[in-house]
């Protein structure tokens, strides 16, 4: 009984130190944010990472890139804009951004030409699009997730997704 009491109080002490539901995501890792099939050529989609809007763009050339999801001019959602060639243009006032996040619109003020969006490392593999939201200098050095079963013809992959409004740890526990 005494032993049991010790265990209970040890557990309580631990729970007081770590609240699992408040554990933050480590941004220095590659996270899947979209299915490849969701993003056709010359299209853009809005995804979120830890509440932050990211626009993932597939230009005509096919290799996706990721930028901050709100326009540097008036914070309009960039995924509502259009993609032509390699450029993403904002639906509100038409500013165009390239894959480096630089505003490249001709015929705009010098001030607008200085606008720049933050860029995020982005890669595509096995039908998924990943972003790296942490220290960008670590992106290339960080091991990339591998899903060999997806490429193995002996297995079938079922793809589905659903937004669930809860802390991610609930999903780790239950799926």
Under the binding rule (CB under 6 A), the answer on residue 73 touching ligand FES is: yes
168 Cβ contact list (under 8 Å, min separation 6): 25
- Residue 87 or 95: the one with the smaller Cβ distance to ligand FES is 95
Site track 85-124 with ligand FES (rule: CB under 6 A), x = hit: -----x-xx-x-----------------------------
Closest to 122 measured CA to CA, from 77, 174, 41, 58: 58
Taking the complex as a whole, how short is the minimal distance between the CB of residue 100 and ligand FES, in angstroms? 17
Task: State how far the Cα of 175 lies from the Cα of 162, in Å rounded to an integer.
Answer: 12
Decide: is 71 part of the binding site for ligand FES (CB under 6 A): yes
CA neighbours closer than 13 Å in the CB half-sphere of residue 40: 2
Terminal C-alpha separation, the chain: 36
Query: Based on CB atoms, which residue is closest to ligand FES, 93 or 159?
Result: 93
Instruction: Select the span of 17-25, 71-79, 116-124, 159-167 touching ligand FES (CB under 6 A).
Output: 71-79
């Amino acid at each position: 009984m005494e032993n049991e009491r010790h265990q209970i109080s040890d557990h309580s002490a631990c729970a007081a130190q770590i609240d699992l539901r408040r554990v933050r995501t480590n941004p220095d890792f590659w996270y899947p944010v979209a299915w490849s099939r969701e993003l056709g050529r010359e299209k853009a989609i809005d995804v979120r990472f830890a509440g932050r809007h990211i626009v993932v763009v597939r230009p005509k050339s096919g290799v996706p890139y990721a930028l901050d999801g709100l326009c540097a001019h008036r914070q309009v959602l960039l995924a509502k804009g259009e993609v032509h060639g390699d450029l993403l243009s904002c639906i509100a006032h038409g500013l165009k951004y390239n894959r480096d996040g630089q505003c490249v619109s001709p015929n705009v003020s010098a001030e607008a030409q200085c606008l720049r969006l933050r860029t995020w490392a982005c890669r595509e593999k096995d039908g998924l699009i990943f972003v790296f939201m942490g220290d960008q200098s670590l992106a290339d050095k960080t091991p990339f997730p591998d899903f060999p079963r997806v490429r193995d013809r002996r297995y079938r992959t079922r793809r589905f997704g659903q937004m669930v409004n809860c802390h991610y740890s609930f999903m780790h526990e239950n799926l």
